[in-house]
Structure 1
Amino acid sequence: MLKVWGRTNSINVQKVMWTIAELGLPHEHTNVGGAFGGNDSAEYLAMNPNGRVPVIDDDGLVIWESNAIVRYLCAKHSEGALWQADPAARSHADRWMDWQASSLIADLVTVFWGLIRTPEPERDWIAIGDAATRLNNQMGILDAHLSQLPWVAGDRMTMGDIPIGALVYRWLHLPMERPEAHNIDAYYQRLTERPAFADHVMIPLT
């Protein structure tokens, strides 16, 4: 059976759990990392030498890095749907997944940790403000893109929407100033109609 390790309040774990739920895969989940600890144990580091979450074990195949896990599960279980068989079509999902990891996540983490996990007297307001400005500017690129398409890679949901959708939820619910983004708002409403998204992503930010 598919096994998953990682705390459910991690955005990267949420991506994987959302994917598993979309695919209806039987699995075992173990909370690891954060308040649960365990990600520095010898057993865990043998699976992922980075000590990060999530990690999966699919009948002996161990995979770490959340976007790699999402790609693997979609390729194995959802070819022609979440995983587009045509390489050219799939490249649209791939680029948005990589864009999330390369252009968005670092600034989101700075804002998230600063506003959610750091006591107010200890917050670096300059770093938070600078990261929020960069993040908002990047989200403007997504908003413009979604003016042309209902989903990031076309007219239906693909694996590309999973990293983007998880980040959109956090961006919309962080206690920060945001520019108007009507296309992202409409996109978010489409996401909320998916039970797997509601169950695994739409949870309190902690």
Structure 2
Amino acid sequence: MLKIWGRTSSVNVQKVVWCCDELGIAYARTDAGGTFGIVNTPEYRALNPNGLVPVIEDDGFVLYESNAIVRYLAAKQDTPLWPREAKARADVDRWMEWQSTGFTPAMGPAFLGLVRTPPEKRDAAAIESSRAKSETFSAVLDAHLANRTFVTGDTFTTADIVIGCAVHRWLGLPLERTVRPNLERYYRALCARPAAKGVVSLPVN
């Protein structure tokens, strides 16, 4: 059985769990990271020297980096989540990179400041800067979704899993946001997927 290390409050762990549930992959998950610890033990560092979550072990194969894990799990199966055709796959991959290098890092300071930092220690300027940067990315996504059901068209893919986790976090942050009708319609469609319930039912923490 697939093994997953990582707490579900981690947006990166959420990607892997959602992917497994979409694909019907059975797994055993161990809470790790944050208050659960484990990640600094020699045993865990042997799996991931970076000390981050998630990590998977699949029949002796160990892999870390959440988007790489999602790609790997989908690639093992003949599924539209990870297209076979090169251009379609590159389009999916492009949006997965957009999430990991742009959207999620942009909202990082706002998330840490508003969710993981006591009010008296918050850096208001950093939070506002993060909010403004995140708005830029949410505007890009909203415009892109104007005539698409999912990120790359009418088919749900791994790009929607990783971006969906980011959107869940963004819409759950306690801050003012510009109304994005296409983004909100997209999020509602994701929430309706049975495999998404384990993620979208979670509070942003």
Residue 45 (structure 1) aligned with residue 48 (structure 2): no
Does the CA contact (< 8 Å) of 1:145 and 1:152 recur in 2? yes
Does the CA contact (< 8 Å) of 1:92 and 1:152 recur in 2? no
CA distance in structure 1 between the partners assigned to 2:120 and 2:5 by the alignment: 33
CA distance in structure 1 between the partners assigned to 2:128 and 2:30 by the alignment: 35
CA distance in structure 1 between the partners assigned to 2:42 and 2:107 by the alignment: 30
CA distance in structure 1 between the partners assigned to 2:140 and 2:58 by the alignment: 36
User: Which residue is equivalent to 1:136?
Assistant: 135
The residue correspondences of 1:1-206 to structure 2 (distance < 5 A) are: 1-77=1-77, 79-206=78-205
TM-score, length-scaled by structure 2: 0.98
Q: Say which SS state the counterpart of residue 147 (structure 1) adopts.
A: helix
CA distance in structure 1 between the partners assigned to 2:160 and 2:140 by the alignment: 15
CA distance in structure 2 between the partners assigned to 1:123 and 1:15 by the alignment: 28
CA distance in structure 1 between the partners assigned to 2:88 and 2:40 by the alignment: 39
Q: Say which SS state the counterpart of residue 150 (structure 1) adopts.
A: coil
CA distance in structure 2 between the partners assigned to 1:101 and 1:61 by the alignment: 23
1:180 deviates by: 1.3
CA distance in structure 2 between the partners assigned to 1:75 and 1:108 by the alignment: 29
1:80 deviates by: 3.7
Q: Deviations over 1:8-59 (max 9, x none)?
A: 1000000000001111111111000001000000000001000000000000
CA distance in structure 1 between the partners assigned to 2:201 and 2:95 by the alignment: 21
1:200 deviates by: 2.5
Q: What are the ranges of 5 or more consecutive residues in structure 2 without an aligned counterpart?
A: none
Does the CA contact (< 8 Å) of 1:169 and 1:202 recur in 2? no
Q: Say which SS state the counterpart of residue 131 (structure 2) adopts.
A: helix
Over the matched positions of the two proteins, sequence identity in percent amounts to 48
CA distance in structure 2 between the partners assigned to 1:160 and 1:92 by the alignment: 9
Alpha-carbon RMSD across the aligned residues, in angstroms, is 0.9
Runs of 4+ with >2 A deviation: none
Number of equivalences:
205
Does the CA contact (< 8 Å) of 1:74 and 1:83 recur in 2? yes
Does the CA contact (< 8 Å) of 1:14 and 1:201 recur in 2? no
Does the CA contact (< 8 Å) of 1:110 and 1:128 recur in 2? yes
Letter in 1 for 2:124: W
